[in-house]
Amino acid sequence: MNVEVRVQSLGLDRASNTPVVILREQEGERVLPIWIGPGEASAIAMHLADMKFSRPLTHDLLVSVLNGLGGRLDRVIISRVTDATYFAELVVRVGEREISVDARPSDSIAVALRTEARIYANEALLELASIEMAEEEEVAESDAVFGEGAGEKAAGKSPGPGAASTGPSAEAMDPEELEEYLRRMNPEDFGRFTP
């Protein structure tokens, strides 16, 4: 079963300096953090900040191609995780036909935001993330009671694909922090584009 989710925030895993998009279920409290690349994080952040460009960027181009071919993005489904890699599908409608296209969740989210398409996550992924977050909270509580280091932690490593840190590693950035983060990124992360 799939559950509708929305982009709650864009964060930064400070342990690995990797962007994290936090999806939250539309009618509930569960969240699904997905570690993504800096280019995709930039594409999501630019759309959330309502930044416009004179020429289409990659995700805007895909939307234009879909529209030009008479199709539209109906929905995105984040379907599974295998070997710490999330998988997603772009479900495109062309007339009465429905076409499913394999895609990375980060690209799928960037396109969904631009088309106002709905985003869904498999129920099992939300459950897995909830269980892992509850375990991390228990570890944090035991650290508070017994002192730092009492619980197991992967120091210096980013959490697994379903985990989200409740500490600073996955906190949402305010607009100034996001702008500074994007400014500090290496130009080769974006090819010739620099924000």
Domains of the chain, by residue range, sit at 2-190
The number of angstroms, rounded, from the C-alpha of 17 to the middle of its chain's C-alpha atoms is: 15
Write the CB contacts of 69 (distance below 8 Å, at least 6 apart in sequence): 94
What is the band of 87 on the pLDDT scale with cuts at 50, 70, 90?
Answer: very high
- Architecture of the domain spanning 2-190: Roll (3.10)
Q: Name which residue leads in pLDDT, 110 or 148.
A: 110
The pLDDT tens digits for 36-60 are 999 999 999 999 988 888 888 899 9
pTM of the model: 0.69
Per-residue model confidence as pLDDT tens digits over 120-159? 999 999 988 877 665 555 544 444 443 433 322 222 233 3
- Residue with token string 């930039």: 42
- Distance from C-alpha of 63 to C-alpha of 61, rounded to nearest angstrom: 5
Question: Which residues lie across from 32 on neighbouring strands?
Answer: 23
Question: Collapsing DSSP states into helix, strand and coil, what is residue 172?
Answer: strand
Per-residue pLDDT, averaged over 153-175, amounts to 36
Q: Helix 38-48 and helix 58-68: axis angle, to 10°?
A: 70
**Mean pLDDT over the full length of the chain:** 76
- Give residue 176's pLDDT: 58
Tokens of 72: 């539209």
> Which stretches of the chain are DSSP H helices?
38-48, 58-68, 105-115, 123-146, 175-184
